[in-house]
Amino acid sequence: MEVYIRHLEKVLRRYVQRLQWLLSGPVLCSRTWYRWSTDRGVMMTAAPGSRRLFGTVLESKVCILLDTSGSMGPYLQQVKTELVLLIWEQLRKRCDSFNLLSFAESLQSWQDTLVETTDAACHEAMQWVTHLQAEGSTSILQALLKAFSFHDLEGLYLLTDGKPDTSCSLVLNEVQRLREKRDVKVHTISLNCSDRAAVEFLRKLASFTGGRYHCPVGEDTLSRMCGLLTKGFINENDPTLPPFEGDDLRRLAQEITKARSFLWQAQSFRSQLQKKNDAEPKVTLS
């Protein structure tokens, strides 16, 4: 039982490490977290990350689709900042080739095709990002059609704050037609999780293509998570995790909840065994 409990605690520490990695952002980069991590053998870097907004990039040949319609105005500057982080933190390190595509009433493609991920290309992409502006409607379908035309494409990462300006079913049907010829995963990122119709569309689009739906965690939740991560979720009285919208965080939270229940059950069994052993009379051999 002691060995089992030690293994469960180790699993929980790994889960917490993964949760911190997925939530990487300046709010969680504190000395408190660093002390908790090093004390328990978990080494983390205290640096902002692009995964909080964009999730994790999985494929090696990708295109980022960025909504620059008028409704994106309040978010665009922060999105541009985190897109630059994404270029250097994930695309440069993990991808063989990439492209960027912004969409509103019309499309703006950084390059005509996917290009090799080099330092020079990343610098050029970063400069292109700085000139993006928000205006017009949300032509998601046109953006998807254009992106699917890129040779060797493996994954699309679509960031938007709303529904398309055309029928949602039309977009899904067109993507189904495109995927009959090319196995491209569409990962979706929502900046407006309160728009349930838009969230449902993006969930369907991601699930339909074998991709993942991602919704960034808000600043208030991040602040609360800092305290939760410091505790480590080990004790039964520790607070529960908040509900997550995005697929990765939601699944990880489910695993953490399951591991915590197993740990508490094992601790209860251990306590009962200890009481039973203490209550049994000691037999001595004469």
Distance CA 249, CA 257 (A): 12
Indicate whether 14 and 147 sit together in one domain.
no
CB 63 within 8 A of CB 156: yes
- Residue 242: the pLDDT is 79
Indicate whether 88 and 135 sit together in one domain.
yes
Indicate whether 92 and 143 sit together in one domain.
yes
Structure-token pair, residue 68: 């620059």
Distance CA 142, CA 108 (A): 11
- Residue 282: the pLDDT is 67
Q: Which pLDDT tens digit goes with each residue over 203-258?
A: 999 999 999 999 888 777 777 777 666 665 666 677 778 788 889 898 998 998 89
How many structural domains comprise the chain? 2
In a domain, 284, yes or no: no
Indicate whether 192 and 85 sit together in one domain.
yes
In a domain, 218, yes or no: no
Which residues span the domain enclosing 77?
59-211
Distance CA 206, CA 192 (A): 16
In a domain, 130, yes or no: yes
Distance CA 84, CA 91 (A): 10
Reduce the secondary structure of the chain to three states and give it as a string.
CHHHHHHHHHHHHHHHHHHHHHCCCHHHCCHHHHHHHHHCCCCCCCCCCCHHHHCCCCCCEEEEEEECCHHHHHHHHHHHHHHHHHHHHHHHHHCCEEEEEEECCCEEECCCCCEECCHHHHHHHHHHHHCCCCCCCCCHHHHHHHHHCCCCCCEEEEEECCCCCCCHHHHHHHHHHHHCCCCCEEEEEECCCCCHHHHHHHHHHHHHCCCCEECCCCHHHHHHHHHHHHHCCCCCCCCCCCCCCCHHHHHHHHHHHHHHHHHHHHHHHHHHHHHHHHHCCCCCCC
Indicate whether 187 and 257 sit together in one domain.
no
Q: Which of 8-12, 178-182, 202-206, 240-244 has the lowest mean pLDDT?
A: 240-244
pLDDT for residue 275 is more than 80 = yes
Range with top average pLDDT, 78-87, 189-198, 268-277: 78-87
Which CATH number belongs to the domain containing residue 154 in this structure?
3.40.50.410
| Residue 39 pLDDT grade (very low, low, confident, very high; cuts 50, 70, 90) | very low
pLDDT for residue 165 is more than 90 = no
In a domain, 129, yes or no: yes
Q: Which of 64-73, 90-99, 137-146, 268-277 has the lowest mean pLDDT?
A: 268-277
In a domain, 225, yes or no: no
Higher pLDDT, 7 or 219: 7
